[in-house]
Amino acid sequence: MEIPENVKKRLSLPAEEHFYAGHTACQGCGAALGLRYVLKAYGRKTIFTIPACCSTIIAGAWPYNTLDANLFHTAFETTGAVLGGIEAALKARGIKVKGEDGVMVVGWAGDGGTADIGLQALSGFLERGHDALYIMYDNEAYMNTGIQRSSSTPFGAWTTNTPGGKKHFLEKRHKKKVIDIVIAHEIPYAATASVAYPEDFIRKLKKAQKTPGPSFIQLFAPCPTGWRSPTDKSIELARLAVQTAYFPLFEYENGKYKINMPSTKKEPKPIEEFLKLQGRFKYMTKEDIEVLQQWVNREWEKLKKLAEVFG
């Protein structure tokens, strides 16, 4: 459908769609939205690689491809390595990568494929300095295999292999700070983003496109199926994650930190507001919630300090 010029002018996101309707994500899937925004930012001149994860299914079974871009499906733990291979091949063939007119080489992997099994390849990718972008969409568990924990699963969250029972809940570890591990590689550009703030996300995608070298974006992408949340609450949840400072938005650029919260002035909302919309936290006691709140507070203070000192 042609979008009228006057409407186009008012759009804050690119009007073009390169993500086809009829994909097979669940209703309210944050990952599917994320893919749509990436394609809006980069369009067709993109080579994606996607490892085993929900997005394998979202992108379509053979012979379908819901992305209007080239896609190489790869093995679970190889996103970083395949990105490196594709980039090397393009360079060997004299094809321009990154920049306004170059090819965008994009890895799109879940938190499991990034924080756990793919961490080694991710580290190799970052450290070698390939001109490509790695996006970790974070739905905080292995959704594709039926909602098992990943190291990005937060304290207290129910998953099928860390269930909450009558006596105990099994997820006692806090969410792994993958972005901190990434930043430790001193790459030129790393950022967090959320599907609730698409303009911010697209701005970050554009920045990744312009910045030579490896870039990394950790995208917060709610999963109603795995989070036991209503399908129409995904955006609200993604927003609350930011507003509670549970998942703060920030950028790391050549050694500098910058917080991009909608309002850095306001006090973050209590974490409970984020938790109460989801079934996965429902058996948590007040004390459990306090443990999580303390973690959020501590991490948020840390980030603010970083932004203050290295801003």
Partner 1 sequence: MEYKPIRKVVSGNYAAAYAAKHARVQVVAAYPITPQTSIIEKIAEFIANGEADIQYVPVESEHSAMAACIGASAAGARAFTATSAQGLALMHEMLHWASGARLPVVMVDVNRAMAPPWSVWDDQTDSLAQRDTGWLQFYAENNQEVYDGVLMAFKVAETVNVPAMVIESAFILSHTYDVVEMIPQELVDEFLPPREPLYDLANFEKPFSVGALGTPADYYEFRYKLAKAHEEAKKVIKEVGKEFGERFGRDYSQMIETYRTDDADFVFMGMGSLMGTVKQAVDVLREEGYKVGAAKVRWFRPFPKEELYELAKNVDGIAVLDRNFSFGQEGILFNEAKGALYNTGAKPLMKNYIVGLGGRDFTVNDVRKIAENMKAIIEKGELDVEVDWYHLKR
Ligand X SMILES: Cc1ncc(C[n+]2csc(CCOP(=O)(O)OP(=O)(O)O)c2C)c(N)n1
The footprint of partner 1 (CB under 8 A) covers 44-45, 47, 49, 56-57, 59-65, 67-75, 77-78, 80-86, 88-93, 95, 103, 120-121, 123-124, 127-128
- Report the nearest approach of partner 1 to the CB of residue 215 (Å): 18
Nearer to ligand X, 52 or 307 (CB): 52
Q: Residue 81: how many CA atoms within 13 Å on its side-chain side? A: 12
Pairing type for strands 189-194 and 250-253 reads antiparallel
What sign does the dihedral 236-242-246-247 (CA atoms) show? positive
CA separation for the pair 241, 269 (Å, rounded): 9
Each residue of 242-263: b (16+ CB within 10 Å) or e? bbbbbbbbbbbeeeebebbbee
**Site map (CB under 6 A) of ligand SF4, residues 1-40, x = contact:** ------------------------xx--x-x---------
Chain centroid, CA 227 distance in Å? 16
Is residue 256 classed as helix, strand or coil in its secondary structure? Answer: strand
- Report the nearest approach of partner 1 to the CB of residue 47 (Å): 5
CA separation for the pair 108, 136 (Å, rounded): 6
Nearer to ligand SF4, 74 or 139 (CB): 139
Options 29, 39, 53, 195; binder of ligand X; rule CB under 6 A: 53
Sites for ligand SF4 among residues 134-153 (CB under 6 A): 139, 143
Q: H or E segment at 235?
A: helix 234-243
Interface segment toward ligand X; rule CB under 6 A; list 90-98, 104-112, 261-269, 296-304: 104-112
In the list partner 1, ligand SF4, ligand X, none, the entry touching 224 (Cβ below 5 to 8 angstroms by class) is: ligand SF4
231 touches 205 (CB < 8 A)? no
107 binds ligand X (CB under 6 A): no
The residues that touch ligand X, with contacts defined as CB under 6 A, are 31, 52-54, 76, 109-113, 139, 141-145, 150
